A = this chain, B = another copy of it.
Amino acid sequence: MRMSELVKRSGVPLATIKYYLREGLLMAGESHGATSATYDEEHLRRLRLLRALTEVVGLPLQKVRDVLHVLDTPTTDLYAALGRAVAALPPYPPTGAREFPRAKAVLDQLGQVYDPKFPAVAQLERALEAAEAVGLPLSPERAEAYGRHVRGIAEAELSGMPEGSTQQAIEYAVIGTALHEPVLAAMRRLAHQHLAHQRLKGKTRAHRR
């Protein structure tokens, strides 16, 4: 397709597409002479990903580059590639920490395999530390309940991962991790409301709509 159609179908403005081309974030089209090039479904797909990462997830451009670098590097180790790509997502815990005693205790309790270099380990350590600091440490019982249900969520998510293409699997993991997190956070608050309603109001007043 022509550039004009790429603009139309992607919903990304011409100036932004040109910027992505200059910055190497979007691969060049097939050239037909000095001023004409054509683009295909791969370009459209990449533009959708760029929009998701920049506009919706709000990644800084350097982190977008990190994701694209993982996508564009051929690999036989999908596991490592997924880890590198998801590591581009916020939050970004301070690097340098080497000990994660709280996170390690929870992960050991749950029998989970993990790589301590993965930023989510430091992220969990900081979150546990903050909860502890205000007098709400994670009890082993709570850790067990969280672990069981979070694993159920992760299983549903992994079962939807496209199997055919490494690129598609990585895109799915990055976008799904980032975009379904706020869905889950909102659903948690609404589950609190639902349960509190049942517990505190009884079932006499029907608030269901």
A residues with CB within 8 A of B:
48-49, 51-52, 56, 78-79, 82-83, 86, 91, 103-104, 106-108, 111-116, 118, 120-121, 123-124, 126-128, 130-131, 133-136, 138, 141-142, 145-158, 160, 172-173, 175-177, 179-201, 206-209
How many identical subunits does the complex contain? 2
Q: Is the CB of A127 within 8 A of B192?
A: no
A111 surroundings in chain B (CB, below 8 A):
208
Q: Is the CB of B134 within 8 A of A192?
A: no
Q: Is the CB of A158 within 8 A of B128?
A: no
Of the candidates B108, B115, B127, B160, the one whose C-beta lies within 8 Å of that of A207 is B115
Tell me whether A194 and B114 are in contact in the complex, defined as CB-CB below 8 angstroms, given that A142-B156, A145-B156, A152-B145 are known contacts: yes
A193 surroundings in chain B (CB, below 8 A):
83, 112-115, 118, 120
